Amino acid sequence: MTGTFENILNLIGNTPIIRLNRIAPEGVELFAKLEAFNPMGSVKDRLALAIIEAAERDGSLKPGQTVVEATSGNTGIGLAMVCAAKGYPLVVVMSESFSVERRKLMRFFGARVILTPASEKGSGMIAKAEELARKHRWFLCSQFENEAGPDIHSRTTAEEILRDFGEKSLDYWVSGYGTGGTMKGVSRVLKAKSPSTKIIAAEPEISPLLGSGVPQIHNFDGSPAASHPAFSPHPMQGWTPDFIPQMAADVVAAGHIDEIRPVAGDAALKCAQNLANMEGIFCGISGGATFAAALEVAQNAPNGSRILAMLPDTGERYLSTQLFSEIAEEMNQEEQEISVSTPSCLFGTPTVLV
């Protein structure tokens, strides 16, 4: 984007679609939609803006009122930006299991971050946020049930995809699901306007909630009544909480998912690093997981197929996770050998002042 904008929020959306050249199998066209190009580096910037502006319109969020939400991090980071730009105090509730970088980013924007025990899982942090909202009369975003999420993806993300592919057919759209908002909002538009596009939902292999076929029990307001029996902890932060969100269940009920692809944690990590090494694309573990699913689709797709993977965020908020566990801080042997191949600026040698 170029030009002058009213504020940072005008930069949300219109993210690029990039063709992958070195990593794609022969015979297909493989693309990635890079949501890291949103101002705070993730697809959740769209959701954060949508929730706040919808609440402003209907009067449920009053001027100066505190906003509170439970999040794995990206929604909280997006909310921190939106609330800072609009002047709302923000309290974020997050499980201690999510990366330290996320806490620091939100606090840098002035948000307060309340941690919950990892043993309480995603449903525990949601319960804490609800409790705080009732106690203090704060505005609760309720991202897992809030229809502002899928609505903005129908208005923006889906329409961007259709616009960018133009007359060329899109054969497969591949995405994980967190709240289910992206999946619900995009899939319903693609099914209406590009019915030949197959919708592929990816989820962790060790936590196959949709793949289990076991329905989620929800309360009357759409919130989860209990953890799903198929849930297991997994490395894809932002993917698949310990329940099937109502919006993800809506996509299943609508029959919009053509295939569910399980993804192994090792495959997610490998694909994230391969995207960086081979394509120069920096994404997080969930992006690597989505791309792993897209690669599997590509292996069996008919020649000429066009496949689009949603890469939801940037890799910088995963520095303290296993994604970077093998990335050294100090020089390795090869780097040491390169260093000593010329005589200047070596550790352990006297400094020569010229």
pLDDT tens-digit series, residues 82-103: 999 999 999 999 999 888 999 9
Mean of all residue pLDDT scores within the chain: 94
pTM score of the predicted model: 0.92
* pLDDT surpassing 90 at residue 228: yes
- Specify whether the CB–CB gap between 16 and 34 falls below 8 A: yes
Mean pLDDT to the nearest integer, 18-26:
95
Whether 344 is catalytic is no
Confirm whether residue 265 is marked as ligand binding: no
Is 66 annotated as ligand-binding?
no
For 27-57, the pLDDT digits (tens) are 999 999 999 999 999 999 999 999 999 999 9
Are the C-beta atoms of 344 and 124 separated by less than 8 Å?
Answer: no
pLDDT for res 303:
96
Q: What is the pLDDT of residue 352?
A: 61
Confidence check: pLDDT of 112 > 80? yes
Q: What is the mean pLDDT of residues 318-347?
A: 92
User: Which domains are assigned to the chain?
Assistant: 8-41+153-322 (3.40.50.1100), 44-140 (3.40.50.1100)
179 is in an annotated binding site: yes
Is there a binding annotation on residue 325? no
Cα–Cα distance for residue pair 165/133, rounded to 1 Å: 43
Distances (CA, A) of 94 to 116, 194, 342: 6, 37, 49
pLDDT at 58 over 80: yes
CB 125 within 8 A of CB 95: yes
Q: How far apart are CA 91 and CA 66, in angstroms?
A: 7
Report pLDDT digits (tens) over 120-137. 988 899 999 999 999 999
Banded model confidence at residue 59, pLDDT cuts 50, 70, 90: very high
pLDDT in tens, 250-305: 999 999 999 999 999 999 999 999 999 999 999 999 999 999 999 999 999 999 99
> Distance (Å, rounded) from C-alpha 125 to C-alpha 92?
9
**Residue 210 clears pLDDT 80, i.e. is over it:** yes
pLDDT more than 70, % of the chain: 99
pLDDT for the residue 351: 66
Contacts with 323 (C-beta within 8 Å, 6 or more apart), sequence order: 269, 272, 273, 284, 285, 288, 315
> So what's the pLDDT on residue 227?
92
Give the DSSP H or E segment for 174. strand 172-176
Q: Is 99 a catalytic residue?
A: no
Q: Which residues contact 209 (CB under 8 A, 6 or more apart)?
A: 203, 216, 228, 230, 231, 240, 243, 244
Confidence of residue 178 (pLDDT cuts 50, 70, 90): confident
Q: What is the pLDDT of residue 105?
A: 94
DSSP-derived pairing of the beta strands 90-95 and 306-311: unpaired
What is the pLDDT, as a whole number, of residue 237? 82
| Tens digits of residue pLDDT in 183-193 | 999 999 999 99
Residue 110 annotated as lining a ligand binding site: no
Tell me the pLDDT band of 354, cut-offs 50, 70 and 90.
low
Q: Which of 42, 72, 286, 305 is catalytic?
A: 286
Residue 78: alpha-carbon gap to chain centroid: 11
Predicted confidence at residue 353, as pLDDT, reads 62
304-311 mean pLDDT: 98
CA 288 to each of CA 92, 125, 203, 241: distance values in angstroms, whole numbers, following the listed order: 26, 25, 12, 18
Catalytic residue chosen out of the listed positions 44, 128, 191, 198: 44
Establish whether 197 is an annotated binding residue: no
* 3 annotated to bind ligand: no
